[in-house]
Amino acid sequence: MTKKEETVGLEEAKEQVRRVSTRLGLLHLSFAKTLIEEMGEKKGRQLVLKAIKDYGRRIGEEVKANAIAQGLDNNPANYKEDLPLYGMHDRIEVVEVGGRKIMRAYGCVLGKVWNKLGKGELGRLYCYVDPAKYMAFNPNFKLSHVKALPDGDEYCELVVSPTTEQERKDFADKDKDWSYIDR
């Protein structure tokens, strides 16, 4: 007897991703808040960013390994998105402005959670995962936020751009503040 394949509808799948994304947003807030309360604002923030850098590195290295396994190099065009296609955002679009591709993510579940709780600034530290994952994939490029929902913007707007030698050096240094890379 064969096992019957179970399926769920797209809306239910989106809802399940929204639920886990909400939990991820709350988990980040809890860890970040605890570190800052226990270690003080400066040291706590440094530790949160250190953890986010490690997290981003793990993602970027996994995406890079997958690209290499497919015979691709680590050119930014070969970065295959690591986020769920459904449920994490209301919608995503890529637009071209002045010959530059810009990704706009509307309705980020994480940003909505943080803003609803009045913790956009603390939640925003999580967003540093984006430049970290890209720089782990290829240190010559970063994915940075031009706009971010937790900063009070209507949507998140991200661009891929080359890194400077100083950005690469600061990102590689485990004790250096690298947060300026996403501004």
Q: Is residue 55 part of a domain?
A: yes
- Whole-number pLDDT of residue 175: 85
160 in any annotated domain: yes
Q: Please give the Cα distance from 37 to 48 (Å, whole number).
A: 12
The stretch 145-158 carries a mean pLDDT of 95
Predicted local confidence at residue 2, as pLDDT: 64
In a domain? residue 146: yes
Q: Is 113 domain-assigned?
A: yes
Nearest to 159 by CA among 133, 130, 179: 130
Of residues 148, 155, 109, 101, the one with CA closest to residue 127: 148
Contact status, residue 48 vs residue 35, Cβ threshold 8 Å: yes
pLDDT band at residue 183 under the 50/70/90 scheme? confident
Q: What is the pLDDT of residue 5?
A: 82
Bridge partners of 157, per DSSP, are 104, 147
* In the predicted structure, residue 154 carries a pLDDT above the cut 90: yes
Confidence of residue 62 (pLDDT cuts 50, 70, 90): very high
Counted domains in the chain? 1
Mode of pairing for the β-strands spanning 141-147 and 156-162: antiparallel
Tell whether 149 is covered by a domain: yes
Query: What whole-number distance in Å separates Cα of residue 125 and Cα of residue 38?
Result: 17
14 is in which domain, residue-wise?
10-182
* Residue 31 CB burial class (10 angstroms; 0-12, 13-18, ≥19): middle
Find, among 118, 94, 95, 123, the residue nearest to 108 by Cα.
123
pLDDT tens column, 108-140: 999 999 999 999 999 999 999 999 999 999 999
Phi then psi for 160, rounded to 5 degrees? -95, 130
Residue 1 has pLDDT above 60, yes or no: no
- Alpha carbon separation from 173 to 7, 11, 33, 99 (Å, rounded): 46, 43, 24, 33
Q: What is the CATH number of the domain that holds 18?
A: 3.30.1380
Query: Apex CA 26: angle with CA 65 and CA 123, to 5°?
Result: 75
pLDDT of residue 97: 87
pTM for this structure?
0.91
CA pair distance 85, 82, nearest whole angstrom: 9
- Residue 100 pLDDT > 90: no
Is 84 inside any structural domain? Answer: yes
User: Is 2 contained in some domain?
Assistant: no
Average the pLDDT over 143-170 and give the result. 95
Q: 179 is written with which tokens? A: 């947060």
